[in-house]
Amino acid sequence: MSEQIFKLGEDWLTVGKALSIAKGNTSLIITDEAVKKISESWDIVQQIVDKGHPVYGINTGFGPLCTTKISKSETSVLQSNILQSHSVGVGKPIEKDIAKLMLILKAQSLAKGYSGIALNTLERIIWHIENNAIPVVPSQGSVGASGDLAPLSHLFLPLIGLGKVSYNNEIITSEILFKKTGLKPIALGPKEGLALINGTQFIAAHAVKVVAKFHALLAQADIIGAMMIEGLQGSVKPFYNELHALRPFKGNIHVAKRVKKLLKGSEIMEDHIDCEKVQDPYSIRCIPQVHGASRNTWLHLKELVEVELNSVTDNPVIINKELTISGGNFHGQPLAMALDYACLAASEIGNISDRRIYLALEGNNPGVPKLLMKDTGINSGYMILQYTTAALASENKGLCFPSSADSIPTSLGQEDHVSMGSIGGRKALQVLGNVEKILAIELLTAAQAFEFRKPLKSGIFLDEVHNAVRDQVPFACKDRVFANDIEKGIQMIRNKTILKVVERVQKEHGISLTTKYSNEFEVY
């Protein structure tokens, strides 16, 4: 397979491409055209300094010091100082892959040629990406408005020989990195420090991770929900195309068609086609509406994120020789609000999953014993697993308060409205982590209920999914340490095991679960 190439500043960056670059599967290049734009922007900054006309961040102070003029001889010192003074982050460091995404997203923005940085500065950032020398970035300290100032300052301290990096599986100082690699500190020119730390790359990198993780969980939630329908012998009619054509939300139609195809050819479904049950509880019957609404939310976030990945979000922006604009492209509100929306949508996937787990334990479904175990009394069965999902679902509800609803003025009132999108991004990932655990428990619960339908078979998809679960977790005839089962289930969710099973079955049988909206609901 030939190596993929991404042209910084020219190619359209998607979530999928950003992740591919971060994994080392796609290489970055700067074309001659991009070099020309970067050089022209750099030259304009030098002209501004030579002329002495005050332009924010180039020859003035920052924030409330915007009226303080800086002499030509001090403009470079100003840029080094800003990285140091703004490196005030606290808390546990963010994950290495998120920090690497921050570097990638910043490189894409700078390569567009509107930021006034030197080519060698961008090349050094690319060196860090390609050599996996990833700066250590604290998780707390950004309010998500004048750019993600604190985390971006920490991200770029290594350029000037300060801060720490993760390199060859150890955390070392930049000084040690330079000794190991022969690198030397970069002397930042006018505006470069501000261009580096002004932007939304902390928020956007978290959003990329949210889009990818949420996508995987949504796809798995449909499959697990379908298995639970089988286990509890729910009706397939709520998934008919005829119903959803009357309320044609993209997500609803997509989920309904997927679930209906997963149930196709099932002996279990055929077995109760003439049963007396009129309708199922909402957590079964309304899977298309609830999962679908979360799908629509995910799609909204993905579309906004990919606009952001291809935007210039620092300040001021060098348009041309005649026009430099000090504006607000650094403000995180566009992603902050969408991340809060996604946080709520992810929480709801966990919420309805918990309800299906509870439903499976009630013992109101013929053939499926109470607590999913025949010999209860001496055994508690699956009762306490639902306590865990209830705790996780409740925790998620508390995390759903929108971060973007808050704003605390900073910079002596100069930055009087901030987005708090950095908090929203971190919180959304926390919620998704909880949803992983809830879905893992539903997967185990659905597989246990599914077992009681034997010797009836499901369709080709769910039988294989059930087999994959049983490869990891055996049927429970009596109580055991279920935490071990749950951990195996969580690993299956994180490793996308059941998605891989479904993909394999599709290839083997030439059957597709795709819908007319499938392309929109993919990560490219």
Instruction: Please state the three-class secondary structure of 363-375 as a single string.
Output: CCCCCCCHHHCCC
Distances (CA, A) of 362 to 359, 373, 447, 474: 6, 11, 16, 22
Backbone angles phi, psi at 335, to 5 degrees: -85, -30
On whether the CB atoms of residues 97 and 209 are closer than 8 A, the answer is: yes
Which tokens sit at 53? 């006309």
Exposed e or buried b for every residue in 196-235, given b needs 16+ CB within 10 A?
A: bbbbbbbbbbbbbbbbbbbbbbbbbbbbbbbbbbbbbbbb
Among 56, 114, 341, 517, which one carries the catalytic annotation? 56
Contacts by residues 407-410 (CB-CB < 8 Å, ≥ 24 positions apart): 408/143, 410/143, 410/145, 410/146
What does the alpha-carbon distance between residue 115 and residue 30 come to, in Å, rounded to a whole number?
Answer: 15
The reply to whether 56 belongs to the active site is yes
Closest-CA residue to 486 (of 347, 392, 388): 388
57 dihedral zone (left: phi>0; alpha: psi -120 to 50; beta): left
Judging by beta carbons within 10 Å of its beta carbon (0-12, 13-18, 19+), is residue 484 exposed, middle or buried? Answer: exposed
- Determine which helix (DSSP H) or strand (DSSP E) holds 396, and give its type and residue range: helix 383-399
| First CA to last CA distance, the chain | 18
**How far apart (Å, rounded) are the C-alpha atoms in residues 415 and 424?**
19
Closest CA to 495 of 441, 431, 440: 440
Q: Which residue shows structure tokens 């403000």?
A: 331
For the annotated catalytic residues, the residue numbers are: 56
